[in-house]
Amino acid sequence: MWLKPEEVLLKSALKLWVLERSNRYFVLQRRRGYGEDGGGLAGLLMGTLDAVLDSTSKVAPFRILHQTPDSQVYWSIACGASREEITEHWDWLEHNVMKTLSVFDSNEDVTSFVQGKIRGLIAEEGKGSFIKEEDPEKFREAILKFEKCFGLAEQEKLVTYYSCSYWRGRMPCQGWLYLSTNFLSFYSFLLGAEIKLVISWDEISKLEKTSNVILTESIHVCSRGEDHYFSMFLHINETFLLMEQLANYAVRRLFDKETFESDLVLRDPLQITKRGLENRAHSEQFSAFFRLPKEETLQEVHECFLWVPFCHFSTLGKMCISENYICFASQDGSLCSIIIPLREVIAVEKADPANKGVNISTKGKRAFRFTEVKDFEHLVAKLGIRSGTISSPHHTASTEVATTSDSDNLVDYYEGQLMAGQKGSSKTVSTEALMTVFHPQDADNLDSKMLKEKMKEQSWNILFVECGRGVSMFRTKKTRDLVLRGIPETLRGELWLLFSGAVNDMATNPGYYTELVEKSLGTCTLATDEIERDLRRSLPEHPAFQSDTGISALRRVLTAYAYRNPKIGYCQAMNILTSVLLLYAKEEEAFWLLVAVCERMLPDYFNRRIIGALVDQAVFEELIRDHLSQLTDHMTDMTFFSSVSLSWFLTLFISVLPIESAVSVVDCFFYDGIKAILQLGLAVLDYNMDKLLTCKDDAEAVTVLNRFFDSVTNKDSPLPQAVQQASNLNDTKSYHPKVDITDLIRESNEKYGDIRYEDVESMRCRNRLYVIQTLEVTTKQNVLRVVSQDVKFSPSDLEELYELFKKEHFLSCYWSANSPVLRHHDPSLPYLDQYRIDCQQFRVLYHLLSPWAHCANRDSLALWTFRLLDENSDCLINFKEFACVLDVMYNGSFTDKLKLLFKLHIPPAFTEVESLSPSKGDDLSKEELIHFSQLNVSSPVDSQEADALKRSPEKAGKEKIDIQAYLKQWQDELLKKEENIKDLPRMNQFQFIQFSKTLYNLFHGDPEEELLYWAIATVTSLLLKMEEVGRRLQSPTSPAKSPASAAESSTDSQNAPKKDSAPQQTERRNVQSPRRDDHEWSFAFEQILASLLNEPALVRFFEKPLDIKAKVENAKTSQLKARTRV
């Protein structure tokens, strides 16, 4: 590798380098301890220094220096990992540079020319590489070391590297940690002991920072049950965050393909950089904190002061700017934050240049003043253009009406928009919250509860006067305190919309909901069937959902969302949540609130595997261990908390609390996010601690919690008794003292309010790996349970085969931006079909695992085996098919193995194979292999859809499950009988020749090779003679049929229908096998079997016991290298 020229003052410092070649201007040196003089003490010392020191010398054992006569200064210009590489550089210099140097008069000109030439070569190399121009020279060296040490594919992108220690037992090994897109790798060489560790991100089940007596701070990585510890980082937090991101990236790419494919930033793994990941992490944190659309990316951050008018002082904080929003959050304890959409901005002006001030005016006569803004003039110009206040003065009259500081309702701003978008659909979309229709407030009835409600409203109105109202209001500690006390009924829908960020989605997508309703009406899918089933179960005690008005609104919102997001569709808990949203928000607002909950605030909650809910439950368990250690010591099984709390997370406590209390929880959730639910869950367990500690089993503990929830009330709720029916029914049954929800929420904040949002997100990320791996273990156990019934492999061997099979699927996804195989992993499919491989992947595994992989025509055998297994012609096979064919090779009887070989040489498996490159012999290229695997496969669109439908009945009828198809598939499997050897079609002349060649190849290298060759020659000769005699006896010139010929004729007549059965199998692939005329001969399987049984050497060969363990162990170490070569 050419290096950026650097001075080397001493040519042979400390005698660490040995001279290999030299001329007038260049010197080639070898690192002492490498090459001819072997290892020894010098070799151990040099190897240790090369592994530990961060210097050019660590890169390679060879280097080239540039020198000029009469100069003591040398310049390093190239290095090499091997003698061949450095010799190539040396030869290039002699042929292309040496002759030119003689024309220069001065040594300075020579050195300048050489340096310029080398820099030009480096620049030319960089054009086609993954190294960016801004990458430093050390990073180029690290890439060379990374490639040399681990031998991964060229496409594997190194993201960054760190110096650290890896702990083996109690001994630290100093080395280098390399973080790439798909692997965590570590290399160390200390005094002859080499440590090389490669862990793929998708295998990691635990990634955390730990500390103990020995390791002050370290990073713990758990992969496949093995623990690895890395410590002594210079910046451990930076390292850990990057590792978290890369692990999460790999998990999303391999296990959550729909979300990943929609992410334009991460779709191409070759474009991932350390800086890009850091920027992405900041953008995600920014969007989540301010509840902005996920598409927003953080572009600028400015530390500045914001003038807070109602406090009459400026607060220090950070101004964060994205494409469409200006946000600010204070750094002190006042928790002051604002969000200014650029669509609301009408002017951006410079103010008080001495203080570097920026004034931002919004609709509704609001103004925000920022001071001490770095480069404020440039910022003013940029924001002015982006908001349209400079280039387009008329832009201010566009989409929205201003947010004002009076007490008008926020959603009145969108009234004109809403009505304009619904002119043709006013009869189908409700424009009123159900609570205003079914429970209008009586202004004349001012009982104690209504008076308290009015006082709450007045408190909020005072806040609106001080802090503003609408999307750009100041959010302070006082705002939070008012939310904890409960939002008034009349303001609940407005503030939910504001705090959740749904107000921004609704403002930027006018008319979207109405359009969705029109498109989704009348559709019939699995989701709509489930929605119809659950409509009457949603808050059945509330009058709104005892009438067609509420039921129809609920149906429209849920159906529209299922149409918008078919990945989620409909999940059972969504009906309960949406019912409550419809009580306090208009129909379109309820829809956007549902979008905010499902897609931002509770990600991955509402899908088939509810991964998001499982992750948050794992976070909840972790918080219980930290804050309620008494309870964890008492409970023998922590899964109790997961099972009992699942409904708390999925329905935000709505399903367990009375409605009047549950809405107060929803208030806190929309303001604080999942943190509010976690805090309340801890408070519930803490409140019932004493009773839970006396419980003898889980059932008793569940009863305690249920009685507690029944006793929770909201004494200030103005809802009528008819609505509070659920809690009132239990009044006479419960002896539990009443608990007010406001007191419970306040207590949860006082005790557990120190839980930070950043910590929750970090725990989410950490536990996501654990949850994903747990689900994968469940999938593996189910697959192994099904497959173990059909094979004779031991459970441990079968598990190892599954891991290799799954790893091969993932390896094909690692280095391709748009891997077609990636589309084939679908967690919603049955367990067996979640992981499937194509012909290319099967060939790699066949070479590694098959006892017949030593054959010269092994590629052809792998191809024919794959075609035989691919019964439905979708060019994919699952693990059961893969394991069953290996089981025949290793554990099958003589007849089973021979039958497999026979079937490989007849259609539909057999196809004539010939490599396009004669130099490769029988080896096939990837393109040829894929071509032959698809050859003569009938693959029109309808056929593919039918095959997919057959495999996955739930895909029928727009996701509607076809139960009959499932039952038929199950019945076919139960009735499937063992194949009769008489049902096999005959083998023609060409196929028999190929069959004989395969047998010859199988015997190569066997101790009885000569004997086996003699035996197969004998059998072949005998079969040909038998066929020749049979044909002569059947010819018309034969005078009479002997008994033998009559038997032969009888056999042929019996076999005639079975010959006709062959086209039925080949018809599926439209395989055109060579036509058999009167002069061709053929053999039945029984003939070949009987002939081979007469040769003891052949019987011994096929009945020889084979152990797959050695093959599996070799495959585990060779699989990655095999894929790299491919």
pTM of the predicted structure, to 2 decimals: 0.77
- Token couple for 1009: 């090779």
**Of the candidates 325, 471, 327, 345, the residue with the CA atom closest to the CA atom of residue 398:** 345
- Residue 584 binned pLDDT confidence (cut-offs 50, 70, 90): very high
Share of the chain above pLDDT 70, in %: 77
Which pLDDT does position 958 carry in this prediction? 39
What is d(CA 1110, CA 1101) in angstroms, rounded to the nearest whole number? 19
Which pLDDT does position 54 carry in this prediction? 46
Question: Between these two residues, 175 and 120, which has the higher pLDDT value?
Answer: 175
**Of the candidates 801, 854, 813, the residue with the CA atom closest to the CA atom of residue 1004:** 854
Q: Omega of the bond prior to 908 within 30 degrees of 0, cis?
A: yes
pLDDT at residue 158 tops 60: yes
- Window from 123-137, 349-363, 556-570 with minimum mean pLDDT: 123-137
Which pLDDT does position 780 carry in this prediction? 93
Whether 770 and 206 have beta carbons less than 8 Å apart is answered as yes
Query: Average pLDDT, stretch 375-400?
Result: 67
- Token couple for 606: 């509402």
Phi, psi of 264 (to 5 degrees): -70, -25
* Amino acid found at 803: E
DSSP 959-992: H---HHHHHHHHHHHHHPPPPPGGGSPPEEHHHH
pLDDT digits (tens, 9 = 90+) for 262-305: 666 566 666 788 888 888 889 989 999 999 998 899 999 999 99
**Of the candidates 1023, 1045, 1022, 1021, the residue with the CA atom closest to the CA atom of residue 1032:** 1045
Query: Average pLDDT, stretch 1086-1109?
Result: 91
pLDDT at residue 455 tops 70: yes
**Of the candidates 993, 992, 989, 995, the residue with the CA atom closest to the CA atom of residue 1075:** 989
Query: Average pLDDT, stretch 565-572?
Result: 87
C-alpha distances (whole Å) from 715 to each of 352, 540, 642, 719, 738 are 52, 22, 30, 10, 10
pLDDT digits (tens, 9 = 90+) for 898-933: 999 999 999 888 888 765 454 455 677 766 766 767
Which pLDDT does position 190 carry in this prediction? 72
Query: Average pLDDT, stretch 161-177?
Result: 85
What is d(CA 427, CA 963) in angstroms, rounded to the nearest whole number? 37
- Residue 307 binned pLDDT confidence (cut-offs 50, 70, 90): very high
As a residue count, the chain comes to: 1126
pLDDT at residue 406 tops 60: no
- Residue 936 binned pLDDT confidence (cut-offs 50, 70, 90): low
pLDDT at residue 165 tops 50: yes
- Window from 232-241, 336-345, 535-544, 1060-1069 with minimum mean pLDDT: 1060-1069
pLDDT at residue 724 tops 70: no
- Window from 188-192, 293-297, 544-548, 574-578 with minimum mean pLDDT: 188-192
User: Is the C-alpha dihedral spanning 72, 77, 81, 82 positive or negative?
Assistant: negative
Which pLDDT does position 347 carry in this prediction? 92
Which pLDDT does position 914 carry in this prediction? 65
Query: Average pLDDT, stretch 412-424?
Result: 42
For residues 33, 35, 40, 43, the Cα torsion angle rounded to the nearest 10 degrees is 30
Average pLDDT value over all residues in the chain = 80
pLDDT at residue 553 tops 80: yes
pLDDT digits (tens, 9 = 90+) for 315-352: 999 999 999 999 999 987 667 999 999 999 999 999 88
Which pLDDT does position 539 carry in this prediction? 84
pLDDT at residue 976 tops 80: no
- Window from 456-460, 583-587, 944-948, 1079-1083 with minimum mean pLDDT: 944-948
pLDDT digits (tens, 9 = 90+) for 40-93: 555 556 555 555 554 433 456 788 999 888 777 888 888 887 788 889 889 888
What is d(CA 140, CA 147) in angstroms, rounded to the nearest whole number? 11
pLDDT at residue 623 tops 80: yes
pLDDT digits (tens, 9 = 90+) for 644-676: 898 999 999 999 999 999 999 999 999 999 999
pLDDT at residue 442 tops 70: no
pLDDT digits (tens, 9 = 90+) for 1035-1090: 654 444 433 333 333 334 333 333 344 333 333 344 444 444 445 678 889 999 99
- Residue 849 binned pLDDT confidence (cut-offs 50, 70, 90): very high
Query: Average pLDDT, stretch 379-385?
Result: 91
Which pLDDT does position 51 carry in this prediction? 53
- Residue 614 binned pLDDT confidence (cut-offs 50, 70, 90): very high
What is d(CA 364, CA 367) in angstroms, rounded to the nearest whole number? 9
Which pLDDT does position 602 carry in this prediction? 92
pLDDT digits (tens, 9 = 90+) for 852-876: 998 888 999 999 999 999 988 888 8
Question: Residues 6 or more apart from 917 whose CB is under 8 A from it?
Answer: 925
Which pLDDT does position 329 carry in this prediction? 94
Query: Average pLDDT, stretch 442-471?
Result: 86
Share of the chain above pLDDT 90, in %: 39
Question: Between these two residues, 840 and 971, which has the higher pLDDT value?
Answer: 840
Which pLDDT does position 1047 carry in this prediction? 33
